[in-house]
Structure 1
Amino acid sequence: MDLATRLDRFPREHLARTPTPLDVLTRLGERLGPRVLLKRDDLTGLALGGDKPRKLEYELARARAAEADVVVTCGSMQSNHARLTTAAARRLGMDCTVVLSRDAYDEFQGNLLTVRLLGADVRVVDVEDHWALDDHVRAVCDELRAAGRRPHAVPISGTTPHGCLGYVRAGLELAAQLRETGERPDAVYLPFGTGGIFTALTLALRDQGFGCPIVGISVNQDSAGCSAGYHHWWAELTTLLGLGGEPPEVELHDEFVGREYGDPTEECLDAILLLARTEAVLLDPVYSGKTFAGFLAHHAAGRWSAGHRVVVLHSGGVPALFAYHDALAGHLARRG
């Protein structure tokens, strides 16, 4: 049974506008040398776009099957996941409660503004670790059940075994686009947060015969943590799909995180300026900016040159730019 047939066994809601484009960044290529292709998952269509609708198509199908009437999830103050989960819940006729960890980006801007516009019930909590919100989500679900509601909990970033199926589908989509255009990439660069997207795309691309390096750029943890996450989600996803096999070798880089998750590093801000001024493409300061910072650092070190082809995933998150206006203004001033 092929991978597409295995995917078709799982219920899915249609939330993302797909296939998303695979754009050739001509101006950037002229400047750098290698041919750079951008997978535009910032253009999935739902409430300013991003990667999460692909995951939520499968995860919220489970919520609908369970007759849930409210989705509960969590994230940072400028969480793309909170924005898109709220939008997906609204699209499917459900309410949404989001638990947000208080941080420095709490202005009524960007993703936080859209979450409010979409009518989420927002609960702000103080935690030391932005990723440690599960207990708060469980408490909210208990409260809602006591009030007669039927909650469905979605973990941070929407990463569940079923959610990962969305990026298995995306990997098949990308593979088809590469075959159709005759492109054989020398590498694929992906952000690495929880590891769900990275693992699912790796599984699909390897299944489709693409053996080039899959390069993960961490946005939040060291390479050991990324490796553990990759192996965990590989086991979960292959079990769900009824597949065997060990996870293939991948590259995981943790040197672009900065001080913490969401830190707008100088390399990230430079990447945002470069893509804006060569391609009129806006990257975000948390995921795609860091991913491009990794690719650009490897290019500067001599890894990629004319004749190479590199694919980079744009996972969305552009609304967060507005909440980072101080960091961007300072960087623009420094760069003249």
Structure 2
Amino acid sequence: MTSLTSLPRLRLLPGPTPLQPAPRLSKAIGTEVWLKRDDLTGTGLGGNKIRALEYLAADALHRGCDCLVTGAGPQSNWAMLAALVARTCGLDPYLVYYGSSEEPAGNHALAELVGTDIRFTGSADRASVDGTLESVARELRGQGRRPYVLPRGGATALGSVGYVRAGLELVTQAMDAELEPESLWLATGSCGTHAGLLAAVRSLGSPFRVVGVTVSRPAAECAERVAALAHQSAGLLSLPTPESGDDLEIVDGYTGPGYGRSSPEGEEAARLVAETEGIFLDPVFGAKAMAALVDAARRGRLTGPAVFLVSGGAPTLLDPSRRQR
């Protein structure tokens, strides 16, 4: 039987990330909110993807790979952290970005800083990354290399295991703080983080709701992806899974102008969190999810205590084009 302790794992996190109250934010919106600080995961500038990379990079090394190939957009926190982790554990990083070459800033600049081989697809379609990943992998295999290929966001069953661990960690922290959360809110993009958390709370009898705010995909597509990844990651760890998916919650309506672009509601929510708690939310993931939480609280639809996952992504704040992309 596979378990969290038996799977190969790189210890990239220095320890549990803080679960802390947000008293000034809570007062401002009229509902008790706590923050799970996964922007403080300890590698690079932090971020939630480090949890997935603990297992994915370990698997790459276990399989004898010598390079890592993945991709997304130039401001992807996933892509930058994947390149950084690959470099630090002896794998050569290769990134595929959709779009055309641009002046490096934010995450793109940080990926270049660690000597990443970066390719652009020339197409604005995010899906153009997928086929190009396989092309790069074939090229590398032709050179005698052993690439480890990962999809956008690292959204695999093994990657989701990182957030099964995080979910169990959060439950323990809540018990220690004598906190009984009603819900956990997060941005849902590639869906792996949401899936791992859902698998974790299901295994414990669903002590709280997991509410994902879609920031990139239609809600129906998110629901399908989260359900599949939660089932697969639970199966990987021999965890119980429910017969129905009635506990799968996706909130729509907060993507604003679209994926990768900030929204007025998100910017307002990010400003509120910065002014009340001194914490920066990234404009295209965390800010939009917080906008949904704040809106629910102000409409009287949020029962506290609620926990919000701060997923990182700070380098995108340094991209001067983030409002125009």
What TM-score does the superposition give when structure 1 sets the normalisation length? Answer: 0.91
Indicate conservation of the 8 Å contact 1:70/1:89, yes or no. Answer: yes
Q: Is the 8 A contact 1:106 1:112 kept in 2?
A: no
The reply to whether residue 125 of structure 1 matches residue 121 of structure 2 is: yes
Matched, 1:136 2:132: yes
The offset of 1:210, in angstroms, is 4.0
Q: Name the counterpart of 1:195.
A: 191
Query: Which residue of 1 is the match for residue 38 of structure 2?
Result: 41
Change (3 A) 1:7 1:324: same
Q: CA deviation at 1:90?
A: 1.3
Unpaired runs of 5+ residues, structure 2, are: none
Q: Give distance in 2, aligned partners of 1:187 and 1:238.
A: 21
Instruction: Indicate yes or no: 2:236 matched with 1:243.
Output: no
Question: 1:255 corresponds to which residue?
Answer: 253
| Contact map agreement 1:37 1:309 (CA 8 A) in 2 | yes
Tell me if structure 2 keeps the 8 A contact 1:284–1:317.
yes
Counting helix residues as a fraction of each chain, which structure ranks higher?
1
TM superposition score normalised by structure 2: 0.94
Aligned residue number for residue 283 of structure 1: 281
Q: Which residue of 1 aligns with 2:72?
A: 75
Q: Which residue of 2 aligns with 1:172?
A: 168
Moved more, 235-244 or 308-317: 235-244
The equivalent of 1:96 in structure 2 is 93
Q: Is the 8 A contact 1:223 1:252 kept in 2?
A: yes
Please report how far the alpha carbon of residue 211 of structure 1 lies from its aligned counterpart in structure 2 after TM superposition. 3.4
The code of the aligned residue for 2:271 comes to L
Match of 1:30 in 2: 27
2:48 alignment partner, one of 51, 58, 69 = 51
Contact 1:164 1:200 in 2 (8 A): yes
Secondary structure of 2:179's partner?
coil
**Is the CA contact 2:227–2:248 (under 8 Å) kept in the aligned structure 1?**
no
AA aligned to 1:163 is G
What is the one-letter code of the residue matched to 1:202? L
Distance 1:63 1:271, change over 3 A: same
- The 4+ residue runs of structure 1 with deviation greater than 6 A are none
Using the aligned pairs only, state the percent identity: 37
Is the CA contact (8 Å cut-off) linking 1:71 and 1:94 kept in structure 2?
yes
* Distance (Å, rounded) in 2 between the aligned partners of 1:24 and 1:282: 16
d(CA) in 2 for partners of 1:210, 1:310: 15
How big is each residue's C-alpha offset from its partner over 1:14-49, in whole Å with a ceiling of 9 and x where there is no partner? 112320011111211222222211101101011111
Q: Secondary structure at the match of 1:47?
A: coil
The equivalences for 1:141-156 within 5 A come to 141-156=137-152
Report the secondary structure of 1:177's partner residue.
helix
Q: Does 1:208 align with 2:196?
A: no
C-alpha RMSD over aligned residues? 1.9
For 1:43, what is the secondary structure of its paired residue? coil
User: How far apart, in 1, do the equivalents of 2:181 and 2:127 lie?
Assistant: 33
